[in-house]
Amino acid sequence: MLLKQAIMSFLNHMDFIDRSQETIRGYGLELRTFSNFVTVKHNCPVYMEDIVLQDLEDYMRYEKERGIASSSRSRALYIIKSFYSYCCKQDLCPKNLADLLEPVKVKQKERAFITEAEFNDLVNAIEHPVIRTVVQTMFYTGGRMSEIIHLKLKHVDFQTRILHIIDGKGRKDRRIPICDKLYDILTHYLSDLRESDSPLFFATVSTGKVSSTYINRCLHEAVGKLGWDKDISAHVLRHSFGTNLLEKEDGKIPRYAVPGLVRTKAIYMSDMVGKLTGEFSREKNVTQREIVEAALLEYLQKYGFKHEVEALLKKM
């Protein structure tokens, strides 16, 4: 079978087993880059049985010579191994050559983040009002760019102050609380800034959507205006969300988007405390689960588990 045909078969299989469209797209881009490399190298369409270990090693060397980061090369290797594992199970190739490749040593580097004060400077340097609101939403929720730009109007519940992420990473749905500051930002956006009739929550009049490319360009331009010597990406905004731990000012209720599966947990407490919790929940429009989770996280941070809590929130 031709390599290109095998790649299409693999991507169709990923769709069949319900991998997310974003994952399939990423795998497809990497495998097509690999296919183009070996096609140019052999100067003809390549069959799976014609590929040798040297071809795979040359591709990984080519990626390194192009200046691709070690973390990205490690991901490329993982994708190629997944592809070859599928091909061997389907008898599309005689041997799993990818298993013979040496692992990529990933250079660990300290993650960058920005403070809320720096973030405010960044936002003020972004000219486009819709993009500015998208960036603010990523910072105050820790949401992934792909999740935020695909957010629909019907998935934002202002009554319960919840963003409903549908079919997120790993094809999982999750709920993200809307903090007070973000609530004001989003209501202002809907009433005064949004002009599109698109079903997407964030949309320009011209396209009915916003693209990740345009968001990254606006971020890059804003950083240039500020004269910062740092690379600010959507991932940095997610990391900053976990580091800044949302609202902390006096009188503000902390809301956390906590990773992990929701499971029933029986907690015994004074009936009077339980009554107060119920009253607070109704008055402040926050669920009792959010109250208990926030209280536990605040307590753990204060009494010796600050780094552990920060690490937990960064996994979201």
pLDDT tens digit sequence for 179-194: 888 899 999 999 998 8
**pLDDT value at position 13?**
95
**pLDDT value at position 249?**
47
**pLDDT value at position 2?**
92
pTM value is: 0.57
Spell out, as residue ranges, where the chain has pLDDT lower than 70.
108-112, 168-171, 239, 241-257, 260-262, 283-285, 314-316
Rounded to 10 degrees, what is the CA torsion of 14, 19, 24, 30?
A: -80
**pLDDT value at position 244?**
58
Domains of the chain plus CATH, in order, are 3-100 (1.10.150.130), 116-314 (1.10.443.10)
**pLDDT value at position 315?**
64
CA distance 238 to 137: 10
Compute φ and ψ for 171, nearest 5 degrees.
60, 35
